[in-house]
Amino acid sequence: MTLQLQMLGTGSAFAKNYYNNNALLITPDYTLLVDCGFTGPLAMYDLGRSFEEVDAVLVTHIHADHIGGLEELAFSLRSRGARKMTLLLAEALIDPLWEHTLMGSMYQEGKITRLEDIFDVRPIVPDMPCRLSRDLTVNLIQTPHIPGKLSYSLLLNDDIFYSADMTFEPELLTNLVRNQGCRLIFHDCQLEGPGVVHTTLEELKSLPEDVRSVISLMHYGDEKPDYVGRTDGMPFLEQHVVYPLQG
């Protein structure tokens, strides 16, 4: 397989039965970690995996279930004398990630004063495909989540959409499928209550059948077992299962 997906977790931020919604995109010669939340290091450990087999970590937005494991990731590599992890993110996220988040715990006078001291920081320009390896290209698409907080979903290899946490964007999803050849959508999904900062199951169920038919659900709460068979055919992604996506 030239591209595989393995979710480290498929849970919503405060789920207790699922790890944080973080993903490994695996190709024969390159492995990308998409987000590393506070359960990311434990999920890697439980899978028997090491951060040393990851080529880069990409951050979609600054929430603990997406970046809370970066401190352990960076310090564990550093303590082993390994390379700095490559960190891929929109330029606009660099200051919020360091100044509002990691600096508070990682700062060391004269040693760690910038994000670049602990990561090999590689900004990605949104809306411009970035080729990471022979089999993996990523395009950041800014999508709405929380007012004032930047968040970027991913278009992978031009035909796979991976949502960051986002509110419902029916025109985007429909356009991706009908006009841009998107053949798979992995979407965050709030099963109960009003969406507010996420897309709800009811909203996704309102999409036309040709769009629904390519959607798989992730970033769900502990009530997920009650919803199996009640999603109008949209399957739940399962954490730790390896899914072939291409090849």
Ligand X SMILES: O=c1ccn([C@@H]2O[C@H](COP(=O)(O)O)[C@@H](O)[C@H]2O)c(=O)[nH]1
Residues with Cβ < 8 Å from 141, sequence gap 6 or more? 126, 127, 152, 153, 154, 155, 172
Parallel/antiparallel/unpaired status of strands 23-27 and 30-34:
antiparallel
Question: Which of 109, 87, 7, 65 has the alpha carbon at shortest distance from 197?
Answer: 65
Looking at residue 212, the DSSP 8-state letter turns out to be H
Choose between 55 and 165: whose C-beta lies nearer to ligand X: 165
Selected range binding ligand X among 63-71, 81-89, 99-107, 129-137, rule: CB under 6 A: 63-71
Contact positions with ligand X (CB under 6 A) in 192-211: 197
Would you say 142 and 172 are in contact if contact means Cβ atoms under 8 Å apart?
no
Selected range binding ligand X among 50-58, 59-67, 79-87, 100-108, rule: CB under 6 A: 59-67
Return the percent helix, strand and coil in the chain, to nearest 5: 25, 30, 45
The residue from 71, 135, 165, 169 that contacts ligand X (CB under 6 A) is: 165
Contact positions with ligand X (CB under 6 A) in 9-38: 12-13
63 binds ligand X (CB under 6 A): yes
Selected range binding ligand X among 44-52, 62-70, 76-84, 226-234, rule: CB under 6 A: 62-70
Smallest distance, Zn ion to C-beta of residue 175, A: 23
Choose between 27 and 163: whose C-beta lies nearer to Zn ion: 163
Give the count of beta carbons closer than 10 Å to the beta carbon of residue 247. 10
Choose between 64 and 130: whose C-beta lies nearer to ligand X: 64
Start-end of H helices in 130-191: 170-179
Smallest distance, ligand X to C-beta of residue 120, A: 25
What is the rounded CA–CA span in Å between residue 8 and residue 84?
21
Smallest distance, ligand X to C-beta of residue 197, A: 6
Choose between 65 and 71: whose C-beta lies nearer to ligand X: 65
What is the rounded CA–CA span in Å between residue 40 and residue 87?
15
Smallest distance, Zn ion to C-beta of residue 156, A: 19
Using CB under 6 A as the binding criterion, the count of chain residues that bind ligand X stands at 7
Tell me the one-letter amino acid at 178.
R
Q: Copy the structure tokens of residue 219.
A: 């970033």
The one of Zn ion, ligand X, none whose footprint includes residue 22, by CB under 5 to 8 A per kind, is none
Choose between 157 and 200: whose C-beta lies nearer to ligand X: 200
> Which residues bind to ligand X, rule: CB under 6 A?
12-13, 63-65, 165, 197
